[in-house]
């Protein structure tokens, strides 16, 4: 409990005193400053750096990443521990930036939900808009948390294993008892449905703001991770009805032509990983899976000796490096909705529909005049194509980790992974504890209930 109390007691005053001093009018109460006007809450909701925080430590652990031998000597202990699936990631002197950032976003969301409707000098419509948005930010943060620090959701079980604390009030003195996987997923779905019930806007002016199409897309992702494929499909289709534009890579001269995040027509809801993760080297196996005509190899990757430090021989994720205003986007997008719908069709016995959706996406990813269409005669063939396409389309984003986790439940797709790091071999078995990132021991020492 003490960790959360201490961290959040510092976080909010710092935000108000530093980030928003020039943007909000606040009144001082004792030694604290409070939010009073609707514009204060809008400024808090628009605090881009904090509200889009999405973690990312799992990117280092997923099968997309492979450290060249010479690169291994230069990585931090945090990266080394994540890369080798250790039971302890952080040294006693270190904090978990993923955990802190996601719970900060939750705390800000709770502040908004608790106070915006009673704020002053704002219309009811303005208040309700901010209120609805906060549900989406909170749902996204919990979806990240439960898939990082909790076991994989299993549709065949009660999902009673402990995951992460659910905090729904902006209280600085809260119990950090961990909720179960099922309870966290219930909360995510409840928050997203509450956003819809409060008439969240259809299409905001910027993709960093939550929207109705973002809610549908997040529901599609959530239900996919839950193995609820019909519900996932229904929500993916709803999202695509509202936004379905794709970037045609054939129109680009190079990766530097790729649009910045806020102007990217494929992004439904922007969320980015911490900047440090954009330097991770990509697996040669993944890179070799691209055909010579697939433009994603050229535009989604960049040589490890260009604009990346430390340098290495090989390729890294390119989009985050081409522009200072781009990060590794892990928010929901149009390509993800096509791929979710395709997977659900494949699993639902409609392989032709699955490849139709794949080909809509692939048509925008290949060189002019080259073959891009795929075909499938069976559900299994279609599903194999979808899963392979996810690896290429989401290269360098860390989504592979979430796919590895959920595919472990299927004997056909589960796999044992091995890595050699500094001469020692490490193994990740299906459904092993290595798929659940440990809560920082520092936080358990301060709040023992986290370890129960």
Domain holding 284: CATH number? 1.25.40.390
- Long-range contacts: 12-16, Cβ < 8 Å, 24+? 12/107, 12/111, 15/44, 15/47, 15/50, 15/108
Give φ, ψ of 281 to 5 degrees.
Answer: -70, 145
pLDDT for 309: 75
Detail the DSSP E strand segments found in 221-362: 301-303, 315-317
391 and 437 fall within a common domain = no
Give φ, ψ of 295 to 5 degrees.
Answer: -70, -15
For 236, other C-beta atoms within 10 Å of its C-beta total 29
18 within a domain of the structure (yes/no): yes
Which ranges of the chain have pLDDT less than 50?
1-32
207 within a domain of the structure (yes/no): no
Closest CA to 312 of 72, 56, 62: 72
For 288, other C-beta atoms within 10 Å of its C-beta total 9
1 and 117 fall within a common domain = yes
118 and 255 fall within a common domain = no
SS (H, E, C) 101-161: HHHHHHHHHHHHHHHHHHCECCCHHHHHHHHHHHHHHHHHHHHHHHHHHCCCCCCCCCCCC
**H or E segment and range at residue 406:** helix 399-407
DSSP 8-state assignment for residue 340: H
Compute the Cα dihedral for 345, 358, 395, 136 and give only its sign. negative
16 and 164 fall within a common domain = yes
354 and 265 fall within a common domain = yes
219 within a domain of the structure (yes/no): no
For 348, other C-beta atoms within 10 Å of its C-beta total 14
98 and 154 fall within a common domain = yes
217 within a domain of the structure (yes/no): no
291 within a domain of the structure (yes/no): yes
Distance CA(161)–CA(167), nearest Å, equals 18
Query: What's the domain range around 193?
Result: 1-60+69-200+415-452
Tokens representing 139 are: 């749902």
Distance CA(103)–CA(96), nearest Å, equals 11
216 within a domain of the structure (yes/no): no
Give the global pTM: 0.92
52 cis-preceded (ω within 30 degrees of 0): no
10 and 117 fall within a common domain = yes
389 and 434 fall within a common domain = no
Give the number of domains in the chain: 2
Last residue of a domain, one of 371, 399, 427: 399
Question: In Å, what is the CA distance from 239 to each residue of 37, 318, 348, 386?
Answer: 33, 27, 19, 19
235 and 351 fall within a common domain = yes
45 within a domain of the structure (yes/no): yes
3-state secondary structure of 349: coil
206 within a domain of the structure (yes/no): no
Measured in whole angstroms, the distance separating CA 51 from the mean position of its chain's CA atoms is 13
136 and 38 fall within a common domain = yes
Residues in the chain: 452
151 and 278 fall within a common domain = no
Tokens representing 390 are: 């996810």
Cβ contact 219:207 at 8 Å: no
Give φ, ψ of 169 to 5 degrees.
Answer: -130, 150
Q: In sequence order, what are the beta bridge partners of 236?
A: none
């Amino acid at each position: 409990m003490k960790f959360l109390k201490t961290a959040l007691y510092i976080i909010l005053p710092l935000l108000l005193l530093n980030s928003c001093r020039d943007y909000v009018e606040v009144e001082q109460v004792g030694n604290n400053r409070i939010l009073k006007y609707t514009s204060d809450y809008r400024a808090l909701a628009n605090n881009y750096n904090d509200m889009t925080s999405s973690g990312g430590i799992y990117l280092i652990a997923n099968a997309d990443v492979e450290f060249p031998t010479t690169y291994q000597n230069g990585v931090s202990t945090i990266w080394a521990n994540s890369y080798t699936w250790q039971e302890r990631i952080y040294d006693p002197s270190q904090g978990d930036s993923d955990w802190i950032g996601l719970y900060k976003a939750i705390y800000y969301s709770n502040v908004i939900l608790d106070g915006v409707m009673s704020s002053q000098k704002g219309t009811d419509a303005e208040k309700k808009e901010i209120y609805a948005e906060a549900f989406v930010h909170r749902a996204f943060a919990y979806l990240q948390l439960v898939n990082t620090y909790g076991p994989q959701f299993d549709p065949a079980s009660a999902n009673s294993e402990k995951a992460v604390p659910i905090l729904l009030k902006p209280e600085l003195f809260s119990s950090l008892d961990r909720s179960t996987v099922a309870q966290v997923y219930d909360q995510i779905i409840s928050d997203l449905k509450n956003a819809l019930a409060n008439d969240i806007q259809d299409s905001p002016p910027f993709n960093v703001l939550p929207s109705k199409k973002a809610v549908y897309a997040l529901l599609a992702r959530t239900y996919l991770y839950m193995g609820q494929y019909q519900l996932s499909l229904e929500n993916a289709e709803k999202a695509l009805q509202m936004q379905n534009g794709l970037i045609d890579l054939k129109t680009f001269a190079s990766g530097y032509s790729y649009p910045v995040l806020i102007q990217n027509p494929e992004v439904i809801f922007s969320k980015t990983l911490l900047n440090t993760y954009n330097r991770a080297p990509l697996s040669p196996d993944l890179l070799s899976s691209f055909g010579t005509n697939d433009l994603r190899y050229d535009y989604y990757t960049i040589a490890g000796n260009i604009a990346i430090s430390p340098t290495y021989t090989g390729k890294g994720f390119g989009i985050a490096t081409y522009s200072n205003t781009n990060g590794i986007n892990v928010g929901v997008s149009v390509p993800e909705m096509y791929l979710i719908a395709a997977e659900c069709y494949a699993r639902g016995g409609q392989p032709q529909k699955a490849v139709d959706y794949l080909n809509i996406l692939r048509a925008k990813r290949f060189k002019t005049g080259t073959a891009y269409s795929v075909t499938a005669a069976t559900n299994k063939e279609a599903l194999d194509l979808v899963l392979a396409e996810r690896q290429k389309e989401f290269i360098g984003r860390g989504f592979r980790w979430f796919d590895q986790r959920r595919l472990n439940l299927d004997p056909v797709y589960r796999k044992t992974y091995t890595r050699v790091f500094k001469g020692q071999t490490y193994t990740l078995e299906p459904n092993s504890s290595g798929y659940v990132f440990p809560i920082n021991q520092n936080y358990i020492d301060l709040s023992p209930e986290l370890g129960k």
